[in-house]
Amino acid sequence: MFSKRLFIQMSLGGLLLTAAGCNLENEVDVVLPAYTPELVVECYLRAGEVPRLTVVESGTYLPSKADGTGQPVITLPTAAVPTLGLGINGITIQVPVDVTVRLTLPGGQSVPLQFAPGIDPLTRKVFTHIGTAPLAMQPGQRFGLDVRDTRGHHVTGSTGVPTFVPIDTVRYASNGVNGPEQRFNFVTRFTDPAGTADYYRLLLTNQRDLNDSEGDYLVSDQVFDGQSYTFPTTYRFTPGDTMTATLFHMEPDYYNFQQSVRGAISANGNPFAQPARIRSTVQGGLGVFTILVSDQRSVVLK
């Protein structure tokens, strides 16, 4: 809830300002609870696209030099090229090479995804396994996932194809100021199907950097079932920006996973938060296996 978040952020901001002003923050050594690494699976299927999947291993929160798994360690490229977001200089991502992946299609056919690490040149996302043919799918169909390594890890998952919910309109408005202070807001509107529990994610991106979102919102239709709903933004975009709105209609498991991820991240540094466990959509490990069904609209702000 925006208002509650705002209130907590303001309170927390004041608290940290006070703490910093009085030198009430100091670095400490902590001994964190023991942690056993798990396989982390990230797989987003789309109709008409060749399936890709990323398998890595989770690590201890405070990284150590060596983990003793014996697996090859790939130190990802420097900041000049895409990374997995954890930087470089000693922080590495464990990419296991002993993992086999099989995808179960709606008809029951099981197809392997081959280990072939690479980087998508467009999205700059890393993948470790890839299929051979584009997928066909219809709403309501289900896909399955089976991921194993040679050390006993076994991750499984199942997901369905959501229905398509279109964006009704996107529009923008100026703050009424001319010159360098002119800013635009951006409004996305869609209509929720009545009678079903639906979950949505709206992603706003700016053409200037397609891999850095300008807004990422989760919402369920609990309070607007069957009605139109609008995502407004503040006046923060500049003339000439090309804004793209992508509306995902989500499976409940994916919505819960996204919520838990956000809760886990925001709990760091928030004394009022109750840290949440990650609600993975897969069993036997961490991560997400889902199907992306989305509508997209772009507009140049002028």
Partner 1 sequence: MTRTSYRAATVLAIGLLAPQLGWAQARHVLSGQVRGTDGTALPGATVAVPSLGLGTATDENGRYRLDVPAGPQNVTVSFVGYLPQTFRVNLSRSQQRDLTLAPNANELTEVVVQGQQTLEEKLVTTQMGVERLSIREAKLLPALFGEVDILKTLQLKPGVQSGGEGSSGLFVRGGSSDQNLVLLDNALIYNPNHLFGLFSVFNSDAVQSVDLYKSGFPAQFGGRLSSVIDVKLREGSREKFTVTGGIGLIASRLSLEGPLGKRADGQAAKGSFIVSARRTYFDVFTRAINRANAGTEGYRPIPDYYFQDFNAKANYTLGEKDQVFATGYLGRDVFGFNSFGNLQADFAWGNTLGTLRWQHTFSPRLTANTQVGLTSYRYSLGSQVDVASFGLTSTIRDYNARVDFDYDLNPAHNVRFGASFTHHTFGVGRLQVETADNSLNVDNNISYTALEGGLYASDNWKVSDKLQAELGLRLSGFGNDAGQVYGGLEPRLAARYALSNKLSLKANYALMYQYAHLASNTGASLPTDIWYPSRLSVKPQRSQQVSTGFSWLLFGGKFLLTDEVYYKWAQNQVDFRDGAQIFANPNLDQEFLFGKGWSYGNELYLEKQKGKTTGWIGYTLAWSWRRFGPQRGTPGINDGRDYYPSYDRRHNLNVVVLHQFNTRLSLTASFVYTSSAPTTLPAGRFPLQNVPGGDILAVPVYPDRNTYRLIPYHRLDLGVVWKLRPVRFGTERDLTFSIYNAYDRRNAYFVYFEISRNPNTDLIDGFTAQQVSLFPIIPSVTYNFKF
Instruction: Considering only residues 64 through 123, tell me which ones interact with partner 1, judged by CB under 8 A.
Output: 78-79, 83-91, 93, 122-123
The owner of tokens 């690590």 is 59
Among 100, 156, 182, 185, binds partner 1 (CB under 8 A): 185
Verify binding: residue 279, partner 1, rule CB under 8 A: yes
CA quadruple 294, 172, 204, 6: dihedral sign = negative
Q: Is 249 helix (H, G, I), strand (E, B) or coil?
A: strand
Verify binding: residue 34, partner 1, rule CB under 8 A: yes
Among 74, 111, 130, 264, binds partner 1 (CB under 8 A): 264
Find out whether 61 and 32 touch, Cβ atoms under 8 Å: yes
The footprint of partner 1 on residues 129-168 (CB under 8 A) is none
Among 45, 51, 53, 56, binds partner 1 (CB under 8 A): 56
Verify binding: residue 274, partner 1, rule CB under 8 A: yes
Find out whether 190 and 247 touch, Cβ atoms under 8 Å: yes
CA angle 287, 160, 168 (to 5 degrees): 100
- Stretches 56-64, 67-75, 133-141, 157-165: which one binds partner 1 (CB under 8 A)? 56-64
The footprint of partner 1 on residues 197-256 (CB under 8 A) is 203, 205, 210-213, 216, 220, 222-224, 228-230, 232, 234-235, 244, 246, 248, 256
Verify binding: residue 42, partner 1, rule CB under 8 A: yes
Torsion of CA 266, 255, 288, 217, to 10 degrees: -60
Among 105, 111, 130, 292, binds partner 1 (CB under 8 A): 292
Q: Is 57 helix (H, G, I), strand (E, B) or coil?
A: strand
CB of 25 to partner 1, least distance (A): 5
State which residue, 110 or 300, has the beta carbon closest to partner 1.
Answer: 300
Among 105, 267, 284, 299, binds partner 1 (CB under 8 A): 267
Distance CA 65, CA 11 (A): 38
What DSSP string runs through 169-182?
EEEEEE-S--STT-
Number of residues that bind partner 1 (CB under 8 A): 107
State which residue, 78 or 150, has the beta carbon closest to partner 1.
Answer: 78
Structure-token pair, residue 152: 């006993």
Sheet containing 184-191: which strands, arranged edge to edge?
167-174, 184-191, 228-231
